[in-house]
Structure 1
Amino acid sequence: MDFLDEVVITVRSGDGGGGCVSFRREKYIPKGGPDGGDGGDGGDVILSADKTCHSLSDYRSRRSFKAGSGSPGGGNQCTGRNGEDLILPVPLGTIVENAVTGDFIVDLVRAGERYLLLPGGQGGKGNRHFATATNRTPRMAQPGIPGVELKIRLSLKLLAHIGLVGLPNAGKSTLLASLTMARPKIGDYPFTTLIPNLGVLDLDDDHSVTLADVPGLIEGASEGRGLGLRFLKHIERTGVLFHLLDAAGRTAEGVLEDYRRIRNELEAYSPALAEKPQVVLLNKLDLLDDGNGKVARIGRALEEEGVPWIGLSALKGQGIQDLKRLILVNWDVWGLECLDSREADPSCTNPEVDG
């Protein structure tokens, strides 16, 4: 399994290089003054929000990182080379916390955003800085300032416009594959989806949305049963939730019961999550012989609860165009800004760095 959404790593900024003790010695200047150069600064630790990353799996096997140290100063006022910065790419939506204290540090949500986590140690001054009228040959220089070490927790909450929720085997992965270029694992058995999947749906030349498919919820998911508690966080940032319900495999009353079970789990996990705009997608209509008006009965019951709905077949593509039109019509209502437009100033931000 390649997906990883939480990890604890240790990072350390680079040490500053030491200043140099040196004196100018040339053919006609046998007793020149001090000319020791300064040490180079240690490298910074920088977090970079990279929209090409979709998981923290790069940190699965390695948990300790250190920036480069500054080089010592040299004679003839030569300054040591600065240490190389350590730039750690993380997916958009990564929350960074102090793993020891639990204190929040930063939430990286904009593509290209950089955050200066730890500054490198400053290089020490060479002996030329310590010459005075009474001590013209100082034999001292400053050592470099050591870097700072910090243990941090990286937690990923996916950024997506739309979250797909439903019971196991409702057809969420099939719908994601039908709408987007995503290719999640699909099978006719519960818990096919074991990790969140993302896909991008192009609606027209100016509008595209990202969809997140999370593993199927079961009763008690909000309390940690099944995979629900681990992955419910990945739909907290979405603008709207699509409930995918199996209209063919259940009675009308059973389908409504499934919807209410999902609603209850969302509300138990986070009342704010349950208050998001929601749409019910009655799936698998291709398997349904609806001579008794089952879909219409379900639809009327949902409308009485104030929930919009659409009937479709993710497998056959039935109703997909209606779904796209629904998203476009509600674009502003649901606040579906283009995630790709959320570009950040690439310069580092962090006015106060506290190691």
Structure 2
Amino acid sequence: MASSNFIDYVKINARSGAGGPGALHFRREKHVEKGGPDGGDGGRGGHVILKGSSQLWTLLHLKYTKHIKAFDGKGGEGGRRSGSIGKDIILEVPLGTIAKNSETGDQLFEITEEGQEVILLRGGRGGMGNDHFKSATNQTPQHAQPGEPGLEEWIILELKVLADVGLVGFPNAGKSTLLSAVSAARPEIADYPFTTLVPNLGVVSYRDYKSFVMADIPGIIEGASQGKGLGLRFLRHIERNSILLFMVPADSEDIKAEYETLIQELKTYNPALLDKNRILAISKIDVLSDSERSILQSQLPDTIPSTFISAITQEGIERLKDMIWEQINSTFPVS
């Protein structure tokens, strides 16, 4: 099942390396009985680094790697020789990965670009050798610094799915059916809420060998922005979509009210989401007669481009693709 492979949340214990100690050493050579201090500095500890990779789509590779530890720096040596730097640990993560402090929930940073590297935990600084502490009044310092200890924290990594189009709707709105009809993706489909428990991605073919990526985001429920249902775990995925395709089934009791509820949930979670281009698709239109469609048309909100579709009969699917492609390539968002 897809849920066993798509992992969008992991909690890891990360430790950076400790800095190596500075050397307490004096120069000793033939014919030089009392040479001065020449203790070298310790090497810094290794960092723990996150690196963006466009080849990854999930955090599955980190699911069973709970403890991450960088290497310690080596101690300094005589002859002012510095210790070697501890080896960094670089964790590759998908684009759209957020690092959070597990105790406060505060976001530390987000990985958004291929090859982007951000230090998650810095290694401890190496200690200074006794060569640094000589002075006119202290020609033979008997002191060298220890290295700084490394840092240790529990870190939460969360993934936001990146797609051109994100499907937004209540459970059972027909999102998975649409994705399976327009792409090679095969999400689980059944006539009950929350069939989709993880986002599904599909590449949709368009005219002249063009294509775009569509994401089936698990269904929102009223109160999702406060964490109800599967709540916040789903809403964060919508942040990484260029266009939001709202889906409301034709047999809904009040299409306009359902659309407004979806808008309110997004606004409460993150008002910036409303700056994205939006399209409204009325799904399952094959269940209505022509007269019922006419009545329904008059009830649609006039603030958003809308269309009727049926993933079963393929009615309206090409028109929907045209609308999506136009929005992807438009400069200004829908108001």
TM range (shorter): 0.7 to 0.9
Partner of 1:293: helix, strand, or coil? helix
CA 1:206–1:334 in structure 2 vs 1: closer, same or farther (change >3 Å)?
farther
Cα distance in 2 for residues equivalent to 1:188 and 1:229: 24
Question: Which of 44, 47, 51 lines up with 2:47 in the alignment?
Answer: 44
Question: Which of 123, 126, 131 lines up with 1:120 in the alignment?
Answer: 123
Shift of 1:229: 4.5
Q: Which residue is 2:176 aligned to?
A: 173
Q: Which residue is 2:76 aligned to?
A: 73
Shift of 1:122: 1.5
Cα distance in 1 for residues equivalent to 2:306 and 2:8: 32
Q: Which residue is 2:283 aligned to?
A: 283
Q: How does 1:232-247 map to 2 (within 5 A)?
A: 232-247=235-250
Q: Which residue is 1:182 aligned to?
A: 185
Establish whether residue 264 from structure 1 lines up as the match of residue 267 from structure 2. no
Shift of 1:193: 0.6
Q: Aligned AA for 2:281?
A: L
When normalised by structure 2's length, the TM-score is 0.80
Asked if structure 2 preserves the Cα contact closer than 8 Å seen for 1:8 and 1:154, the reply is: yes
List gaps (5 residues or longer) in structure 2: none
Shift of 1:68: 1.3
Asked if structure 1 preserves the Cα contact closer than 8 Å seen for 2:220 and 2:234, the reply is: no
Q: Give per-residue Cα distances to partners, 1:169-189, cap 9 Å, x unaligned.
A: 333123223333433223454
Cα distance in 1 for residues equivalent to 2:210 and 2:259: 29
Count of residues in correspondence between the two structures = 327
Q: How does 1:164-243 map to 2 (within 5 A)?
A: 164-201=167-204, 203=206, 208-243=211-246
Asked if structure 2 preserves the Cα contact closer than 8 Å seen for 1:267 and 1:274, the reply is: no
Shift of 1:332: 4.1
Partner of 1:298: helix, strand, or coil? helix
CA 1:91–1:21 in structure 2 vs 1: closer, same or farther (change >3 Å)?
same
Shift of 1:42: 0.8
Question: Which of 323, 326, 335 lines up with 1:326 in the alignment?
Answer: 323
Shift of 1:82: 0.5
Q: Which residue is 2:291 aligned to?
A: 293
Partner of 2:323: helix, strand, or coil? helix
Cα distance in 2 for residues equivalent to 1:202 and 1:174: 16
List gaps (5 residues or longer) in structure 1: 337-355
CA 1:315–1:28 in structure 2 vs 1: closer, same or farther (change >3 Å)?
farther
Shift of 1:311: 3.0
CA 1:241–1:269 in structure 2 vs 1: closer, same or farther (change >3 Å)?
closer
Partner of 1:234: helix, strand, or coil? helix
Cα distance in 1 for residues equivalent to 2:170 and 2:37: 76
Asked if structure 2 preserves the Cα contact closer than 8 Å seen for 1:222 and 1:266, the reply is: no
Shift of 1:222: 4.5
Q: Which residue is 1:308 aligned to?
A: 305
Asked if structure 2 preserves the Cα contact closer than 8 Å seen for 1:95 and 1:156, the reply is: yes
Q: Aligned AA for 1:100?
A: E
Shift of 1:202: 5.1
Asked if structure 2 preserves the Cα contact closer than 8 Å seen for 1:279 and 1:308, the reply is: yes
Shift of 1:196: 1.6
Cα distance in 2 for residues equivalent to 1:173 and 1:213: 6
Identity of aligned residues (%): 45
Cα distance in 2 for residues equivalent to 1:223 and 1:126: 55
Q: CA RMSD in A?
A: 3.3
Cα distance in 2 for residues equivalent to 1:207 and 1:24: 71
